[in-house]
Chains A and B, each alone.
Chain A
């Protein structure tokens, strides 16, 4: 008997299977903690409803402010949950097990970030029509608003994965995380709010949406590797 094979050879796990396993694990963990799932959403709803209360109820003014308010609130509420992306796994030693699981750490990072986006960003997109109504955004602009938010939050999740990977070893890394991620998120704010604004005024919003999509593709392809490298540094 050689050292490499004890008894029957182990049945190796393929990439897709491993990806599904990590994704399911992350989603199950999220749903076991509904408070952590709901807090960023409730934060998003409350912050956006504060503005119509604080400003005058002039519909034209509200409509002018709406895209900015919506996007800033979305960015901040996404930031709330980013801190926990790798933190709990790093604290309890799960990250080491994942790093030694025989699967590529990049694959695991992609699955974790995607699961994070599904329960934060995608959920935010789903409740955005509610906020849109409160901010007097016309129904015709909802599709553009939701599309831009979906692209923006996905990009933000990727930027956040890099930041979370870099700050995971720090005791109080959440402020630093915001300082790393928010400047990088400025283009998102400009094009995202721009697309929503144009959709409200009825001029073509496609240009801004295309730019958002380009940013999204850029981060989807590059950020997994950057986040993995950041995590590896932390693991050492």
Chain B
């Protein structure tokens, strides 16, 4: 049964890509303070599931609800509560890290430069704030994208392979940020093929190939 307290609820979702039946009746629920780790081999539909949960992809069958309402019907409300990070960092090479953040976060909520600086500081890329994103390394770009997730201040995080390109310190930082997010009542759906190294309880959803 779907209740308002359930947060994000994906029910019996089917997705076909051409002839391939990628998602075969996948269901999941994610409540306050919960982290769900989606794992599975390449091509098992992890990213597809994330895109369905974000509303980018409409499933052929099944429903996705947020606080008991369909995300297609209440899309503006859902998107305000959502921080989505695809496996590309989605940064414009010709804009500085700070400008990238200001334009994208600014569409979701009113934000000050100090706040953006603080989130860049938190992910360890404050010195790169005024550099064009194209000169940053892949790991630094990932950290800027992570700063954007923080700056959205959204309760629901949907992260696609957030650990890729991060060094050991970066991976530890990401795990700490996830733990903190969940501890303060946030929700996180993380797609990753390896373990998250998070102390607090995480649930796992394995997708079959």
Contacts and interface: CB of A to CB of B under 8 A. Distances in A.
B72 to A, nearest CB: 12
Nearest to A20: B106
B90 A93 contact: yes
Interface stretch (A99-107, A182-190, A197-205): A99-107
A140 interface: no
Scoring B84, B106, B107, B108 by chain A CB atoms within 10 A of each residue's CB, the highest score goes to B107
Contacts, number: 111
A16 interface: no
Contacts of A101: 79, 104, 107-108
Given A11-B109, A236-B57, A236-B58, A29 B80 contact: no
Nearest to B31: A3
A100 B92 contact: no
A13 B110 contact: yes
A166 B154 CA distance: 32
Contacts of A32: 94-95
Given A29-B95, A99-B56, A3 B107 contact: no
How many A residues touch the partner, as a band?
A: 35 or more
B67 A29 contact: no
B80 A3 contact: no
A102 B107 contact: yes
B95 A96 contact: no
Given A25-B103, A96-B56, A97-B104, A6 B94 contact: no
B32 A3 contact: yes
A121 B54 CA distance: 36
Contact of B76 (A5, A96, A98, A102): A102
A82 to B, nearest CB: 19
A13 B67 CA distance: 22
Given A3-B32, A7-B153, A33-B94, A97 B84 contact: yes
Given A13-B107, A102-B80, 6 more contacts: A6-B186, A11-B110, A29-B94, A100-B82, A101-B79, A236-B56
Interface of A: 1, 3-7, 10-13, 17-18, 21-22, 24-25, 28-29, 32-33, 88, 92-94, 96-104, 235-236
6 contacts: A10-B80, A10-B153, A13-B107, A94-B90, A94-B104, A97-B104
